[in-house]
Amino acid sequence: MIRVEILEQNRAALRPFVMLPFSLYREDPNWVAPLIGRQLKQLSEKQHDPRRFFLVYDGDKPVARVMAGINERLNERIGRKCGYLSLFECEQKPDYARTVLDAACAYLQEEGMETVIGPLDGDNIFSKGLLCQGYDGTPVLFNSYNPPYYNEYFEKCGFVKHKDYFAYFMRMNEFDPKIEEIVHRAKQRFGFRVEHVNVTPDTEDRVLQNIARVIREAFPPEWEANVPTYADVVKIMKGMRRYYKPEMTVMAFAGNRPIGLMAAIPDYNKVLKAMKGRVLPIGWLKYLLGKGGIRGARCCMQFVVPEFQNRGVNLAMFQEAYAGAKQLGIQWVEGSLVDESSVPSIANTEKLASHLYRVYREYEKDLEAAAEE
């Protein structure tokens, strides 16, 4: 018999929720297991915004899951009553998917939501949607991974495309040396410089203030996300500290004014895959031994303030980060995630001899229309 359970937000109750993917992907060589302890800690932490965890059983066996939540701050910004879905996983049976998605949608409608978007991760700004193109390898750090049938199940449950996000791939040896001359002329003409971001106890507050300022000024108004405050930036950087490399993190300045930010992080998924979700007993040793052999990186953050867009600032930051990445032995870079509606970002990315190789899709559903059917 298929049934759905609503889980308490504590580590013991959430453990089968966290462990479900380990059985679903046990034969999939591309899947990267999350660190079990860390995910249990994150999911069991109390949040200001409402959220609920759903787990479907067939008999005594967990077979599908999803988290449903509401980002009240974002709803206020965009003027909508919208819920979100996250952490969807499901065995290959449509009834399981329908059971868990229907339960989540019913909960969001009870909370007064009119639409739902997902999957997305309310806590991880670097992960959006379901993988719908490019299943031929391991995902890059923080990006989602799933079998193709997940997209089919969302569509069968009444969801339609909301938005696509693109991932671009570039080999370091394909970098065009002509860019150096373009960057040199742009710096002279428009009067800016690029510096690596070195965070020390003495500089941390100033650096984070600069980062927050650039993101705030450059944040596209059409993005369906909250404009990060200084406190948000502090929280994000705290979570990213273990991945941060000053060689691949740069900012552009015009005088003392910060005008651009670009950040790339090593693709630690190579190491995380070997750890298989566990730090102990030997997972941490695998991490320490493996991190020196990482040859890929993900460029996950790129902002330029409006007045300096289309003035070569993106190219200049990339050139500086590229040089730092080479020092670390990086051989390839993924640029992601690029919003399909962000024409300037797409154009700038394609100038760098990169090619589109993966697509992630968010879905949406009109809850009011579904209830009337």
Q: What is the pLDDT of residues 133-156, one digit of tens each?
A: 999 999 999 999 999 999 999 999
Q: What does pTM read for this prediction? A: 0.93
- Binned at pLDDT 50, 70 and 90, residue 122 comes out as low
291 pLDDT more than 80: no
The alpha helices in 168-290, defined as continuous H runs, are 178-190, 204-218, 230-240, 269-275, 283-290
- Chain-centroid distance, C-alpha 88: 15
Pairing of strands 82-90, 61-70: antiparallel
pLDDT digits (tens, 9 = 90+) for 190-209: 999 999 998 888 989 999 99
- pLDDT greater than 80 at residue 219: yes
Which of 5-14, 197-206, 252-261, 282-291 shows the lowest per-residue confidence on average (mean pLDDT)? 282-291
The CATH homologous superfamily for domain 2-166+362-372 is: Gcn5-related N-acetyltransferase (GNAT) (3.40.630.30)
Domain ranges of the chain: 2-166+362-372, 176-352
What would the CATH number be for the domain defined by 176-352?
3.40.630.30
pLDDT of residue 293: 83
Give me the pLDDT at residue 166, please: 96
CA neighbor of 297 nearest in space, from 275, 318, 274:
318
Of the pLDDT bands very low, low, confident and very high (cuts 50, 70, 90), residue 236 is confident
237-254 pLDDT tens trace: 887 888 889 999 999 999
Where are the alpha helices (H) located in the chain, listed in sequence order?
A: 11-24, 36-44, 72-78, 94-110, 149-156, 178-190, 204-218, 230-240, 269-275, 283-290, 313-327, 343-350, 367-372
What integer pLDDT is reported at residue 243 of this predicted model?
Answer: 85
What DSSP character marks residue 140?
P
How many other C-beta atoms lie within 10 A of the C-beta of residue 241?
Answer: 9
Q: Are 118 and 154 in contact (CB under 8 A)?
A: no
Is residue 300 a contact partner of residue 126, using CB atoms and an 8 Å limit? yes
Cα 297 from Cα 324, distance rounded (Å)? 12
Domain 2-166+362-372 shares a fold with domain 176-352? yes
Beta bridge partners of 53: 7, 67
Assign 282 a pLDDT band (cuts: 50, 70, 90).
low
| H or E element in which residue 356 lies | strand 355-366
